């Protein structure tokens, strides 16, 4: 069993991580934070159409995973700053290779979709 590699094992790290960063906003949040810390509303406005509840969930998970720090300033109005940890920054490189692939192939994907839709 698993002769093609441990991808066939549901407990392998790749599958766990893909399941974690493979949700709707996690990878995007990490990429947005790559140039420096951002506040909650900066992330929310940057992502554009994310419900605050969902953004909070996403950031809490990233914090729990040790990829992001959450710093609360006891001010009024409140200020909360999110930043990447060293481990979070180390994720930028892999995500950037995916991002580059995306930019290189997005046109081909759109073309393929149009062709597929035309035949069906």
* Interacting residue ranges for a copy of itself, rule: CB under 8 A: 4-5, 7-8, 10, 12-24, 27-28, 31-32, 35, 46-49, 63-67, 87, 90-91, 93-95, 97-103, 105-106, 108-109, 111-113, 115-117
CA 23 to chain centroid, in Å, comes to: 7
Q: Using CB distances below 5 to 8 A depending on partner kind, what does residue 37 bind out of DNA, a copy of itself, none?
A: none
Tokens at residue 7, please?
């991808």
Cβ distance to a copy of itself smaller for residue 10 or 77: 10
Q: How far apart are alpha carbons 9 and 14 in whole angstroms?
A: 10
Part of the chain binding DNA (CB under 7 A), chosen from 8-16, 28-36, 53-61, 100-108: 53-61
In whole angstroms, give the CA distance from residue 6 to residue 11.
Answer: 9
Please tell me the distance from the alpha carbon of residue 24 to that of residue 33, in angstroms, as a whole number. Answer: 16
Nearest distance, CB of residue 94 and a copy of itself, angstroms: 4
Nearest 10 degrees: CA dihedral of 38, 21, 94, 97?
-90
* Site residues, DNA (CB under 7 A): 23-25, 39-41, 49-54, 56-57, 59, 70, 72, 76-81
């Amino acid at each position: 069993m698993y002769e093609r590699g441990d991808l066939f094992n549901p407990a392998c790290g790749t599958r766990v991580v893909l399941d974690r960063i493979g949700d709707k906003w996690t990878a995007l949040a990490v990429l947005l934070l790559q140039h420096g810390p951002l506040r909650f509303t900066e992330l929310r406005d940057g992502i554009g159409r994310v419900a605050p509840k969902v953004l909070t969930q996403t950031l809490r998970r990233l914090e729990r995973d040790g990829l992001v720090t959450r710093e609360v300033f006891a001010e009024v109005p409140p200020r909360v700053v999110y930043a990447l940890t060293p481990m979070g920054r180390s994720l930028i490189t892999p995500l950037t290779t995916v991002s580059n692939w995306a930019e290189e192939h997005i046109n081909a994907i759109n073309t393929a979709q149009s062709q597929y839709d035309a035949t069906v």
